[in-house]
A and B are shown apart, each in its own frame.
Chain A
């Protein structure tokens, strides 16, 4: 799949995205990522009132002299960002034209490439019923080709256990960071617990909901026996106009629930279909300042 995934045009688009990322990013220039963790560093961030137990080495005596109150200097902690790309490789991701997995892999490659260029640690994990296999987080620019090779080798298969997989991943990961999930969220057991597990482990979660165009507007009609691509389970229904309308309502309700959940849990959520060019999606994310902390 790698040859098809990452052709010359794709790489050219990645370079373009990288330039665009620099232009869009409002923060410091290359080589550094800022975290929301305050800590000891050379960069002053703010003042706050002294609390017993604070390191009094950071007391600002000039302010004490002028204000007769103890203020503590707060510096931005400077550390390396770890980007966890979690890509759903269950059999449902094989659906669509192009396949959702193919699309998600290109998207993951693009985001990973940007992260690698930003000197972040980038790791990729493929999951279905569990973590199938992983590419451990590494920070080096040459990691991009490894990343591409890994993403190009992904094959769909297996059922989805979204909650269990993310719960395990959250518990197992030693260095939380940013978790970028590329999935279709098609798990009858739900997705909430898994996402919450990541949040508990202080992951910054970005959820990219990948849908096939056929799933948004199914071109089905008449009596059908629908077969679940993952489980082989079948169900019969007449795809009349009313049924199509019901499906649309069901889909809207699903999207709305996901959006509400993400909004309520500070999860960056973006929904895309395989028909939207992946670079547009990436730029959209950049504009949202996803990589700015």
Chain B
């Protein structure tokens, strides 16, 4: 029972007051009668002392009960209403970050066993959910009581080469589990620095596994940074490399820099215990596409951070097909984009193999697939069915939250004519003039479309500084263009966007040699299975490319446990009182009934 107004219980002070009143009140009135002649017999039968009769004093008992009930009513009690007890729920957050791969017996394996123990010890009705707490936390298994299924899913957690992201993991756990009824169990090696430790919820308990000795099993040397920059004159590539010695003893490492597998330079670096050092190197510019920094003859607890790669982008240019009766501004703009291979036609007889088709006031054939920018025209089977061309006099207004219109002042753009017609409900209007859409986007499983209801020739947009920005935004959305020669890499768990030929079979070979096959429907393919550090190879019939994934996280490379254990737990995971039913009205009514009974008894007695 809970009380909304506990101060109301102060009324209980009336209880001793009532008892005192009955105890110490003037016991009897002094009444003079003419004679006791007739009263004596009566007095013998009805004269008793008051105090011993307290317990049999009905009025006293009724008044006490009324006082107690009145005080309870004043305190506004609420009876707990327990919902039907739900089975205990536990979310197991299993750290599958890179550090969990360290050790002779990988920490992740210990974690899986620990999770299995927890699941095995729990009562049969306990529901478990499996979450990873590594890079890009994800749900491995939703709530279930199926132990076999849970054990199978546990072994599917194979670990990553990325850094733990506890904050996102806890946020995900909080989103999928009722905090009042769910226990969180974080199984981790604790190799997380305090700066990355989020605020733990009260229902979180940690299970620390592996590396607890902090000794040799946690000794690790790592490449912690690898940034490359092509000199503006293109004569060389400058490299910034970070190395760290996360061990209790000093160490000397041999660092080799290579380009396309050919050693460019090698460095001997002495590192004190716990020391992290940055060094720079100049690599003569070649046409190499893959650069690497890696330790030579290094044996430590975590191989994933012993090397880093950088891959030059632009191996394959973005192919843009512009169909236009003639548009000087558009052609000039597209021609200055780096790594864009532009093809201009006056019409579209048949779809070309391109990454982006731009239709400038020309009719399009049906059955188009891939990424399309439709300027002042509509597709036969597209989301916009143009009906007529009308003049407009109202300024445009754009959605401020759209990345397409970022940096563009559409309100200042003058548009003289627009096409009006029916727009598919799934299309998103990005800019409009009154009720008429000006710029829209549309996505389905075959088409990724950005369209304008106005032709560039009917607007002064091309004369404005916002025009290149708008076109850049549109092309970036439909067919991302990477600057030719830019050297980059991704982090484990991040999503890599690949420019591919729509409908073309795609094979991605991961660093451990696993081949993953896909058939993208659009020219943009987002690849998310970037759990391993190393070089990924993208193969298709028409192209071949690579991208790199590096850990490069000094904190994750430090395998020494730094996380203190916490023992949080929900009080009653089996079901908590979630609501209370107010009962003060019933108590008040009972009080009135008791007072009425008290009055009746008093009247009847006297």
Q: Is B328 part of the contact surface with A, judged by Cβ < 8 Å?
A: no
Determine if B47 and A92 form an interchain contact, defined as CB atoms under 8 angstroms apart: no
Determine if A227 and B31 form an interchain contact, defined as CB atoms under 8 angstroms apart: yes
Chain B contacts with A in 359-385, Cβ cutoff 8 A? none
Q: Is B20 part of the contact surface with A, judged by Cβ < 8 Å?
A: no
- Chain A residues whose C-beta falls within 8 Å of the C-beta of B30 in the assembled complex: 224-225, 227, 234
Whether A228 touches B36, Cβ cut-off 8 Å, given contacts A223-B50, A236-B28, A238-B48, is: yes
Least CB distance from A20 to B in Å reads 32
Determine if B47 and A186 form an interchain contact, defined as CB atoms under 8 angstroms apart: no
Q: Is B604 part of the contact surface with A, judged by Cβ < 8 Å?
A: yes
Chain B contacts with A in 25-54, Cβ cutoff 8 A? 27-43, 45-48, 50
Q: Which residue of A lies closest to B26 (CB)?
A: A223
Q: Which residue of A lies closest to B25 (CB)?
A: A223
Q: Which of A108-116, A118-126, A197-205, A244-252 contacts B (4 or more CB under 8 A)?
A: A244-252
Q: Per-residue 0/1 for A206-243: is the Cβ within 8 Å of any B Cβ (1 yes, 0 no)? A: 00000010010010111111111111011111111111
Q: Is B606 part of the contact surface with A, judged by Cβ < 8 Å?
A: yes
- Chain A residues whose C-beta falls within 8 Å of the C-beta of B27 in the assembled complex: 223, 236
**What separation, in Å, do the CA atoms of A215 and B31 have in the docked complex?**
13
Whether A246 touches B45, Cβ cut-off 8 Å, given contacts A221-B606, A222-B29, A223-B29, is: yes
From A92, A233, A251, A254, contact of B34 by CB (8 A) = A92
Whether A224 touches B37, Cβ cut-off 8 Å, given contacts A246-B45, A247-B42, is: no
Q: How many residues of B contact A (CB 8 A)?
A: 25
Determine if B37 and A242 form an interchain contact, defined as CB atoms under 8 angstroms apart: no
- Chain A residues whose C-beta falls within 8 Å of the C-beta of B46 in the assembled complex: 237-240, 242-243, 246
Q: Which residue of B lies closest to A233 (CB)?
A: B36
**What separation, in Å, do the CA atoms of A226 and B30 have in the docked complex?**
6
- Chain A residues whose C-beta falls within 8 Å of the C-beta of B29 in the assembled complex: 222-225
**What separation, in Å, do the CA atoms of A231 and B40 have in the docked complex?**
13
Whether A237 touches B37, Cβ cut-off 8 Å, given contacts A220-B31, A224-B29, A243-B42, is: no
Q: Is B605 part of the contact surface with A, judged by Cβ < 8 Å?
A: yes
Q: Is A79 part of the contact surface with B, judged by Cβ < 8 Å?
A: no
- Chain B residues whose C-beta falls within 8 Å of the C-beta of A93 in the assembled complex: 34
**What separation, in Å, do the CA atoms of A243 and B604 have in the docked complex?**
12
- Chain B residues whose C-beta falls within 8 Å of the C-beta of A227 in the assembled complex: 30-33
Interface of A is mostly: mixed
Least CB distance from B34 to A in Å reads 3
Determine if B39 and A237 form an interchain contact, defined as CB atoms under 8 angstroms apart: yes
- Chain B residues whose C-beta falls within 8 Å of the C-beta of A188 in the assembled complex: 35, 37
Chain A contacts with B in 67-122, Cβ cutoff 8 A? 92-96, 100
Whether A225 touches B37, Cβ cut-off 8 Å, given contacts A235-B47, A238-B48, is: no
Category for how many chain A residues contact B? 35 or more
From B43, B604, B605, B606, contact of A237 by CB (8 A) = B43
Determine if A237 and B47 form an interchain contact, defined as CB atoms under 8 angstroms apart: yes
- Chain B residues whose C-beta falls within 8 Å of the C-beta of A212 in the assembled complex: 34
Which of A221, A237, A247 has the most chain B CB atoms closer than 10 A to its own CB?
A: A237
Which of B28, B35, B50, B606 has the most chain A CB atoms closer than 10 A to its own CB?
A: B35
Determine if B34 and A229 form an interchain contact, defined as CB atoms under 8 angstroms apart: yes
Least CB distance from A225 to B in Å reads 4
Least CB distance from B532 to A in Å reads 95
From A96, A236, A251, contact of B43 by CB (8 A) = A236
Determine if A254 and B33 form an interchain contact, defined as CB atoms under 8 angstroms apart: no
Determine if A226 and B41 form an interchain contact, defined as CB atoms under 8 angstroms apart: no
Q: Per-residue 0/1 for B36-79: is the Cβ within 8 Å of any A Cβ (1 yes, 0 no)? A: 11111111011110100000000000000000000000000000
From B32, B36, B47, B606, contact of A222 by CB (8 A) = B606
**What separation, in Å, do the CA atoms of A224 and B45 have in the docked complex?**
14
Determine if B36 and A226 form an interchain contact, defined as CB atoms under 8 angstroms apart: yes
Q: Which residue of A lies closest to B32 (CB)?
A: A227
Q: Is A187 part of the contact surface with B, judged by Cβ < 8 Å?
A: yes
- Chain B residues whose C-beta falls within 8 Å of the C-beta of A221 in the assembled complex: 605-606
**What separation, in Å, do the CA atoms of A186 and B40 have in the docked complex?**
12
Q: Is A161 part of the contact surface with B, judged by Cβ < 8 Å?
A: no
Determine if B31 and A254 form an interchain contact, defined as CB atoms under 8 angstroms apart: no
- Chain A residues whose C-beta falls within 8 Å of the C-beta of B43 in the assembled complex: 226, 235-237
- Chain A residues whose C-beta falls within 8 Å of the C-beta of B35 in the assembled complex: 92, 184, 186, 188, 228-230
**What separation, in Å, do the CA atoms of A222 and B47 have in the docked complex?**
11
Determine if B606 and A240 form an interchain contact, defined as CB atoms under 8 angstroms apart: yes
- Chain A residues whose C-beta falls within 8 Å of the C-beta of B50 in the assembled complex: 223
- Chain B residues whose C-beta falls within 8 Å of the C-beta of A226 in the assembled complex: 31-33, 36, 39, 43
Whether A228 touches B48, Cβ cut-off 8 Å, given contacts A222-B606, A240-B605, is: no
- Chain A residues whose C-beta falls within 8 Å of the C-beta of B40 in the assembled complex: 235
Whether A236 touches B36, Cβ cut-off 8 Å, given contacts A220-B31, A226-B31, is: no
Least CB distance from A193 to B in Å reads 16
**What separation, in Å, do the CA atoms of A247 and B38 have in the docked complex?**
7
Determine if B34 and A246 form an interchain contact, defined as CB atoms under 8 angstroms apart: no
**What separation, in Å, do the CA atoms of A230 and B28 have in the docked complex?**
20
Q: Which residue of A lies closest to B37 (CB)?
A: A186
**What separation, in Å, do the CA atoms of A215 and B34 have in the docked complex?**
8
Least CB distance from B102 to A in Å reads 89
Determine if A225 and B28 form an interchain contact, defined as CB atoms under 8 angstroms apart: yes
Determine if A246 and B31 form an interchain contact, defined as CB atoms under 8 angstroms apart: no
Least CB distance from A180 to B in Å reads 21
**What separation, in Å, do the CA atoms of A231 and B36 have in the docked complex?**
9
**What separation, in Å, do the CA atoms of A243 and B28 have in the docked complex?**
15
Determine if A251 and B38 form an interchain contact, defined as CB atoms under 8 angstroms apart: yes
- Chain B residues whose C-beta falls within 8 Å of the C-beta of A94 in the assembled complex: 34
Determine if B34 and A184 form an interchain contact, defined as CB atoms under 8 angstroms apart: yes
Q: Which residue of B lies closest to A160 (CB)?
A: B35
- Partner-B contacts on A (CB < 8 A): 92-96, 100, 184, 186-188, 212, 215, 218, 220-231, 233-243, 246-247, 250-251, 254
- Partner-A contacts on B (CB < 8 A): 27-43, 45-48, 50, 604-606
Q: List 5 A-B contacts (CB under 8 A).
A: A100-B34, A187-B37, A224-B28, A236-B28, A237-B47
Q: Which 9 A-B pairs have the closest CB atoms?
A: A221-B606, A95-B34, A186-B35, A237-B47, A92-B34, A243-B46, A225-B28, A237-B43, A223-B28
Beyond A184-B34, A226-B39, A250-B38, list 4 extra A-B contacts (CB 8 Å): A215-B38, A225-B28, A242-B46, A243-B45
